[in-house]
Amino acid sequence: MEETININRRVIDKCLEGDIKAQFQLYKQYSKAMYNIASRFLNNKMDAEDILQESFVTAFMRLGELQNKDAFGSWLKRIVINNCISLQRKRRIQFEEIDEQRHGEAPEMEEGMPEVDPALVHQAIKELPAKGRTVLVLRALEGYSHKEIAETLGITVSTSKTQYSRALSLLNGKLKVKRDVN
């Protein structure tokens, strides 16, 4: 572990000196994980690839701002998530929140629910509306609190809870339909 951290520090130092091979080494090390994050957010392969490239360009241009070289992966992940959110905001059609007062914690998954194929879950998540999918991914897959989600997305905590609840309800419904079909 310590050896890996030292290698990362050395690679980052080389990147700061403009070493393209070191940049490629960091890209190879982190690109798959960052692509997966972008893909879960955007539900579009080409957009995820674009965000991945844009995020690495941003990271390499701002590498001098990185305070803790050991936290490169977390820092890069934050850049990817912010870029995904920015893209979604650019594309979002402004809708009024319907019944924003109605919120609360999301319903629990049904008791006794049989195991669901992860591919079905992934497909069902991809079919969710963008706002709900983003909140669901941040909360359920990335482990963010509603407060962190609210700060990241520029929404209220209550809106985060509402969107999460709706996304989970939709997901439960989609999975139930998919289970019934299969």
Distances 85 to 21, 78, 94, 123 between C-alpha atoms, Å: 30, 11, 15, 20
Exposure string over 41-62, b if 16+ CB within 10 A, otherwise e? bbbeeebbeebbebbbeebbee
The residue ranking higher by pLDDT, 4 or 94, is 4
pLDDT > 70 fraction of the chain, expressed in percent and rounded: 79
Q: Is the pTM of this model over 0.85?
A: no
The two structure tokens encoding residue 116: 């669901």
pLDDT at 1: 46
Domain span(s) for CATH 1.10.10.10 in the chain: 118-181
Q: How is domain 2-91 classified at the CATH fold level?
A: Rna Polymerase Sigma Factor; Chain: A (1.10.1740)
Domain 118-181, second-level architecture: Orthogonal Bundle (1.10)
Provide CATH 1.10.1740.10 ranges for the chain.
2-91
Give the pLDDT confidence of 27-66 residue by residue, as tens digits. Answer: 999 999 999 999 988 888 999 999 999 999 999 999 999 8
